Amino acid sequence: MYQDGLWMIGNPSPSSSPWSPVQDKLFERALVIFPEESPDRWQKIADEVPGKSLSEIREHYEALVHDVLEIDSGRIELPSYTDNSFTPSRESESQTNQISFGSKAKLSETERKKGTPWTEEEHRLFLIGLQRYGKGDWRSISRNAVVSRTPTQVASHAQKYYLRLNSAKKEKKRSSIHDITTVENSSGAAQPNNQTWVAPSGSPVQLAMEPMGPPRQFPHQGGSSGYQTFGFPM
């Protein structure tokens, strides 16, 4: 009865189109909303992402995990900071990415750091690390998943991320019935940063809400070896 087994091996992807940014976003959101506790986790996630089957979802997740594992193994170097997936309209090149190690960039004490925006790669890694280590263990996440970010940065990112999630959820839940009628997508301004995901007609899953609460905080890695060193010789 199990057809899975080689759905990703030898079968590149019959009807799998490249993941659109919107789909990826939905996938990530669903991933966070539905932790591993959910029995039909993948089913629900698949339901959240229209256009993708369960196999597609699993494949995507496998790929992500594989990527993270690769990075974790130290085989890959990471990132391609040129991952401007979307941002079609304007080419905001006003960003002066100063990610040049080696140069002793003196940061004045009264100088606030620039603020390197998180890339999609980092965000993906962050999400996976979140799923693997659980919320709160920014230390492990920073060390295993997002190596290019300090625990503080990870925590900050998490904070903003959850803030946004909560806001979105609240906003969605706020008007509930009255908001459901917001199926007007005639403007055509629905592309990249659209946070107006309209549920498909007849979507049974109205979100069970529940911010997943404290999912899983395995208190491991208690050895504070002081790996606060990120290898950034400034």
Partner DNA sequence: AATAGGGTTACAC
Partner DNA sequence: GTGTAACCCTATT
Minimum separation from the CB atom of position 140 to DNA (A)? 8
**Residue 114 within binding range of DNA, rule CB under 7 A:** yes
**Residue 160 within binding range of DNA, rule CB under 7 A:** yes
**Residue 182 within binding range of DNA, rule CB under 7 A:** no
Minimum separation from the CB atom of position 207 to DNA (A)? 19
Minimum separation from the CB atom of position 224 to DNA (A)? 5
* Most distant pair of Cα atoms in the chain: their distance: 65
Query: Closer CB to DNA, residue 13 or residue 195?
Result: 195
Minimum separation from the CB atom of position 203 to DNA (A)? 23
Binding track over 215-234 against DNA, x by CB under 7 A? ---------x-x-x------
**Residue 131 within binding range of DNA, rule CB under 7 A:** no
Alpha-carbon torsion angle 43, 45, 49, 54, nearest 10: -40
Query: Of 21-29, 50-58, 86-94, 179-187, which segment contacts DNA by CB under 7 A?
Result: 86-94
CA dist., res. 220 & res. 155, Å (int): 18
**Residue 112 within binding range of DNA, rule CB under 7 A:** yes
Neighbour count for residue 209 (Cβ, 10 Å):
10
| Residue 202, token pair as written in the block | 């007849």
| Residue 165, token pair as written in the block | 């999630």
**Residue 133 within binding range of DNA, rule CB under 7 A:** no
Phi, psi (degrees; rounded to nearest 5) at 167: -60, -50
**Residue 136 within binding range of DNA, rule CB under 7 A:** yes
CA dist., res. 155 & res. 196, Å (int): 26
Phi, psi (degrees; rounded to nearest 5) at 46: -60, -35
One residue of 53, 95, 166, 206 binding DNA per CB under 7 A = 95
CA dist., res. 55 & res. 88, Å (int): 30
**Residue 113 within binding range of DNA, rule CB under 7 A:** yes
CA dist., res. 145 & res. 130, Å (int): 9
CA dist., res. 183 & res. 199, Å (int): 8
**Residue 166 within binding range of DNA, rule CB under 7 A:** no
**Residue 87 within binding range of DNA, rule CB under 7 A:** yes
One residue of 44, 124, 157, 172 binding DNA per CB under 7 A = 157
Query: Closer CB to DNA, residue 61 or residue 86?
Result: 86
Coil, helix or strand at residue 145 = helix
Closest by Cα among 2, 33, 7, 73 to 162: 33
List residues binding DNA (CB under 7 A): 87, 89-90, 92, 94-95, 107, 112-118, 135-139, 151-153, 155-157, 159-160, 164, 193, 224, 226, 228
